[in-house]
Amino acid sequence: MNRNDAERATARLLDVMDTLRRECPWDREQTFDTLRNNTIEETYELADAITDKNMEGIKEELGDLLLHVVFYSKLGDEVGAFDYTDVANGVCDKLIYRHPHVYGDIHADTPEEVKQNWEALKLRKKKRKSGTLGGVPVSLPAMVKAFRVGEKAAATGFDWERREDVWDKVREELKEVDVELRADDKERLTDEMGDLFFALINACRLYGVDPEAALERTNKKFIRRFNHMEQRAVERGVTLHDLTLDEMEGYWQEAKHLE
């Protein structure tokens, strides 16, 4: 990356934002609140591009997110709260503070040690009354939130001594689900299903698997195979409702073999 080109591109984007905010009716009426949902949507579009390993898509979606950073910074500047310079300097100061093993005299030889230092420094800096888990955004999707909660708890040392031990917890929760299935208690079953999901997400964390990415890969695999099965039915001049379970299973296996 050419630093001069990057600086010129950033200056250009800031100029474009100033122009749009001044001259475009739609851009003029935007607020923090109106942009919020769009920002969430752009984040998911970036996540999709990353899952698909679509480099062109990743580049485009990163640009969209960068636009949102500049837009929010412009809004902050207009009310005298902060501007883009404050945002950029703020994150630089934060990164330097949270990387004492790079900028200071703290030693961290593994990613795990870096994470533990990171969480400890975050807690010390913000002095949260809500404690270690207070920094997990309330509006995060439940699966992402569960993963972050597990990470933050583990950074304090509250974790399994051996990652293999997590499977005992998974099996324990599965048994409790079975108990509630037999009892036919919907509320208790919901609780136990949640506990099972949480244990599985912790297993993903311990084994270095992103649960969101793993589930999305399965979603896409299921959709691909289901679409194949449906297409085969169309080729026969029927719908899926006309097929037997054995016939659907045959087309499903056919789709697997084609992958």
Q: What is the DSSP string of the chain?
A: --HHHHHHHHHHHHHHHHHHHHH-HHHHT--HHHHHHHHHHHHHHHHHHHHTT-HHHHHHHHHHHHHHHHHHHHHHHHTTS--HHHHHHHHHHHHHHT-HHHHSS----SHHHHHHHHHHHHHHHHT-TT-GGGGS-TTS-HHHHHHHHHHHHHHTT-S-SSGGGHHHHHHHHHHHHHHHHHHT-HHHHHHHHHHHHHHHHHHHHHTT--HHHHHHHHHHHHHHHHHHHHHHHHHTT--GGGS-HHHHHHHHHHHHHH-
This prediction has a pTM of 0.66
Residue 116 has pLDDT above 80, yes or no: no
* 3-81 homologous superfamily: MazG-like (1.10.287.1080)
How many Å apart are CA 78 and CA 32, to the nearest integer?
Answer: 12
Residue 165, both tokens: 């031990």
Give residue 136's pLDDT: 85
Provide the phi-psi class of 80: left if phi over 0, else alpha when psi is between -120 and 50, else beta: left
pLDDT tens-digit series, residues 24-81: 999 999 999 999 989 989 998 998 898 889 999 999 999 999 999 999 999 999 999 9
pLDDT tens-digit series, residues 149-208: 999 899 888 999 999 999 999 999 999 999 999 998 899 999 999 999 999 999 999 999
Domain range annotation of the chain: 3-81, 213-258
pLDDT band at 255 (very low <50, low <70, confident <90, very high): very high
Residue 126 has pLDDT above 80, yes or no: no
